[in-house]
Structure 1
């Protein structure tokens, strides 16, 4: 399944176009490599998403669901 569609189906991101824009902006990574919206997700992948003021790290399970490993709030007021 494509990354942008996967994020929408699992309700991480509301719209596929937003998932596309985040990927193109380099906000979605795997092993410190930026992913394209067309990346084919596989079970076992660990993906990082920087979304507004949050960083979400999750693992893709065998049935293409997500297991959230970590959710970090990023404060820009330092």
Structure 2
């Protein structure tokens, strides 16, 4: 599944266009590598998302579109780490 679609369906980012923009500017990484909005994400991958005030690292638990639509919030991923981002420094 595309990373932008996954972020939207897993409720990590509210809009798919916002997920696309974040991936384009480098605020999303899959397994430590910068990705494009069309990059594929699979179960077991580690995704890092740099929000303006924090950095969230999650592990993908389910990656099927139908699974994600039926999942309750938080069942699509497990949080590995959450830390504050320095506002004066870009995380990537």
TM-score, normalised via structure 2 length: 0.76
Q: 1:74: which partner in 2?
A: 85
Q: CA deviation at 1:31?
A: 3.5
Q: CA deviation at 1:73?
A: 1.4
SS in 2 for 1:70: strand
Equivalences for residues 36-51 of structure 1 within 5 A: 36-51=36-51
SS in 2 for 1:19: helix
List structure 1 segments (4+ residues) > 6 angstroms apart after TM superposition: none
Q: 2:40 matched to 1:29?
A: no
Higher relative contact order (Cα pairs below 8 Å, separated by 6+ residues): 2
Q: CA deviation at 1:28?
A: 0.6
> Which structure 1 residue ranges, 5 or more long, are not aligned?
none
TM-score, normalised via structure 1 length: 0.88
State the superposition RMSD in angstroms. Answer: 1.3
Compare the two structures and name the one with the higher strand fraction.
1
